[in-house]
Structure 1
Amino acid sequence: MSRRVFIILLYIIFTLATTWQVVTLTRDWTLRTLHQQGSDELLKVITQLRGALDQYRYLPFLISQDTDVKELMLGFTESKGDEVSLYLEQTNLVAGSSSLFVLNAHGKPIAYSHWRDERDFFLRLHQDQDYYRQALAGHRGRQFSLNAESQSPAYFLSSPIYDGKRFTGVAVVRIELEKLISQLRSFGVVLLSDENDQLFFSTGPFQRFSQLGTQIKSRQENLTDGITTELWEQSEGNWLVRGVSLDDLQWRVTLLQDLDVVQRNVRNASLFSFGGCIALGLMVLLFRERQLKIRSQNETREALAASEAQQKAIINNAQVGLLLIDSKGCITFANEMALQQFAASAPLLMHKPLLDLLSSEGVSPIQRLLSRLDHKGFSPLIGFEAVAVRGDGTEFPIMLSIRQMLALVERQYLVTIIDISRRKGLELQLKRANESLEHKVEERTQALQEAQDELVQAGKMAAIGRMSTAVVHELNQPLTAIRNYVAICRQMLQQPEMLSESLTEVDELTQRMAQITSQLKTFAYRKPEQMEKVSVQMAVNNALHLFRQRFIDDGFQVDLDLPEPTVYVLGDSARLEQVLLNLIKNALDAMQGFDHKQIAIQVDAVDDKVRVTVVDSGPGIDMDLLPDLFEPFVTSKSIGDGLGLGLSIVRSIVRDLNGEISAENQTGGGACFRVILPQSK
């Protein structure tokens, strides 16, 4: 027992030592790889940075050689300055720089690309700037500037302007580094700092416009190949550092590579090493166990032979057909029930392919399964329905299952066959009964739909009958007035002016009677059989056109909000316009007598719906009327001003168009009606 413990402890020490060595080598290799990748990536970043700056180097020289610019240097005029400023503005837009400007020999701006918006720029002097001094000395100037107040780094390029050999001014290009440097592409964190170690650009978690050294903790690490690498630590993470100073730009470019990959590789290497050692130990144990298993296999074979004999006895007494087939799909055993099902003797079935007992239709899955019996990954077939053929040639339906017999020495498969002739007959009868029932349900549904349509129309006609008293009252008033006016006309045949006034009153009364009958006709109108696409914008405009004179005469303010693309609904334009006319007329009537008369109509498309909203600045809807507002003969108007059918007609039309309508009072006063209809694409 003590010897076994000693071997286990010794192997554990070996495993730990091996894992430590692998971890050390993996960390060193990963750091060396990151160091090399960082050098390559840093070179690529510097190339991108210089390439981005070089695309603007030609601009100062191009401006200094322009004829108009040289003429401006010789004699400044305001018109000439504006002309050159316009040229700089256009050039700036094409080049994509931040700004362009021209300085005279004394460093004062006389032309500027942003001359329209920044006129105070012409009051600033630039004689103290390095880019002016370098150009004054006859060189192409460049200067990096970091504005601490606006926290905006900029880079200036300049070129002297000469008239012959006489210095006359400076052409300057200003480049916003924030926009330029943001185009850099790198898999690491890129930092840009000036010669004072002040950070002005970062793609990582560093605070710009502050000293870079105060934000990190740096340390050196020596690698096995003699390379010394620098590592930074910060609360946001750890990085491997590669950096270089650009003397001409007076910048330092730093590239940071995340050390997570080092930790990940170290973790994976430790797991691999430790797991490998454990696996090696397990393999030694498994080899020893294998020797023990070989000893027991002979005993197992003897037990399997006895089990096979017992299984055959059980199969012979089963109440379903059972067949045994070999890896080639040929029958090696059939029980008594299977012989009865196929009406054949045992010698006729032995060594016969299973497919010969089945009809050729619909056996493709069985063919694929039998062709793979001798392959690994066998998947059993359970409850497959097929058609079998008896010995006399007659067919009968069966349910077939094929499973592998795992306990046998040789690979064999158990085929279970159940005769389902009786079940198929019952299924056929049930199918016929279902089809008959579905047909009767369709007929009954159609009859109910027709009856429902008739009931809706009958309900409308019944409502018309209930309102007959109100209609008689509405019509009797204008008829009595017409008779009175006709009597007056007879007495005034000799006075044409008064006669014309009476006839005008008669005409207005007849129009009122026509309006009453029109409402009744619309209320009783059936839903149209066919729908077509209707433009909602056109329907709104047509409805508003009918009220244009009233808007002018009564001083109504109309706010219209229509979507830019045309939206459509299914319906007919006349009925949709009828809905809008009723809602607009009710809104106008409600605002009569108010000083502020405003109506707002908005159309918008939400998902697959179209919403039309009509809002007025009137007194709103009486809370007692709001629950029954859309019922026939419900109105807040006095007798003689309406039947109360308008909103009922509107609701009926909206429902026919498969839509919804609602009404509510606005918080600030006035009523809001909202119609929602399905959108037609």
Structure 2
Amino acid sequence: MIVIALIAAIALVTYKQVLETGLGQLTRTSRQRLDFLTAVTGQTLEKYESMPYVLSQQGSLVDLLEHPGDGARTQSVNAYLKRVQEKTEPLVVYLLDHRGRALASSNSTEPGSFVGHDYSFRPYFIDAMQGRAGRFYGVGTTTAEPGYFLSYPLYAHDAGQSTTSKAAAVPIGVVVVKINLGDLEKAWSDGADEVALADADGVVFLSSNSMWRYRTLRPLAPDVQKALLQTRQYGDAALARLPMRASKPLGSSASASAPPKDLVYIAGDNGTSPLLMQTSDVGPLSWKLLTFSKTEATFAGARNVAIATGSASALVTLLTYTLWLRRRRMQERQAARVELQRINDELEMRIADRTQVLVDANASMERKLSELSEAERVLRATQDQAIQAGKLAVLGQMSAGIAHEIAQPLTAMRILSENAQKLLSAQEVGEATDNMIEIGSLCRKAGSIVSQLKGFAQKSAETFDPVLVDRVVSDAVTLVRREGESAGIEFDVVPPVRPIWVLGNDVRLEQVLINLLRNAIDATKSSPLRRVSVCFSLEPQHVILRVRDTGTGITAPALQRLFEPFFSTKTPGAGLGLGLAISASIVQGMRGELRAQNHSEGGAVFTLTLPLAPSDRDEETT
């Protein structure tokens, strides 16, 4: 455990060091790209910075502001602004009067023209009317297209040309240039990092990830929300907060290679590693340019190096331990050779002594095995005699029912034969023939009963063959049915879903079932509900037969001694108490099991479990 902990510590220290170095390198690389993007963004913003001022010096724009209703001047200014827009490629250039209404625009002839619309609520108009250049980014209220708005005030011709005179004068209008910054987003999308541009309030308005646009980096104050609503800077955007949370600190080192603190997770990002966030100020409106560098490769590299270091440490440790073990094994083998030689010498002396003892013990064991074999033969013969005696005892107890079963077809045959004689005398050959056919059927029935009795009574050899278990159950029920029905007992035998073969002896299995059925009949005779049921349950290797009665059940003391020889719960003279003991012995000989228990709804249940024949198992498997 100590070695494992040491290897883990080495791998962990290596992981932290490599990760710190990698994140430090990533920080420097990301900062270089951020500085480049900041410079490009600043140049893009400065490109049109002086354009509103240049346009404010155009006398035709002032003439239109001084003569707002002049159609010729309006048409001339619209054409001029259109040419400016086509050459310098801003989105739109337009002229506002002192009330904020657009008098002319480069898109005057296009759908969604700015002419006639009121923009007095826009900050860029308010700033210009206060005598300073206006700058504003927002979504257009007319076209719904976002853009960067630059504005500059225009003064009347008589306001003078000096800066002092203009400062005291009131602007008569504002010229506005709307710039499209969408090209920046397209350029950002080509890089591996995510890039976003946020305003001074923390609202992201440009991003390489379109899902981040118009999301906030932090909660907005109520007054900021109110101002954004008044200026409609971002239209109807919900301005929900970007789901961003800080990552746990990775280290406390203050060196240049220490991991930066600006590691964040953003919900919805597919990566499992945090993003490295860095910011830079850009533009005159205190905008923040943010880059989010992916750190999966850095973390994966640190993990790989840590795994390699841990594996190398484990390999060196394993080799060192192997060499130590090898040396120790050589020493142990040398000592073992010396000890083995001593033991061999000692063993040879003992072998000579033990050999004679074994010879004597072997002769004694042969005599005992012979005696045991003879005792087993006598026991098997005694058991067979007990089984045969049990069968004959059952036949004797069933004699009344059997006699009735045979007497019925004999009586019917006598009556039918007498009728046949009379019918033949009367020349009724057809009806006489029917009587003879019925007599033949009754003879076969009586023969079947006698055949079953002979098969049950004969002494069976102890051989195991495939036995059709449902046929054995049917024969057993047939032999005891008369006895049960004479006591008003109903038999309920649920046949199996398919023929089932077990490995056993059909005669002995029939003897077991007759014992169980007769015990169930005896237990049910005095019950209000008199029913004996037999059902089958099939398992992959066994079949289970359950014989249930509706009697009073078995007491707890009787359950413990139920299969003991000469133990009986019946009245004296009603039985010897050998039926269940013999049945259990027969079932054990078939590699099965016989159990007894009380049913939850009353009465007793005897469960007989027998192994399926190999052919039946194969059929069940397929």
TM range (shorter): 0.3 to 0.5
| TM value normalised by structure 2 | 0.41
Q: Which has a greater percent of strand? A: 1
Structure index of larger Rg: 2
User: Which of the pair is proportionally richer in helix?
Assistant: 2
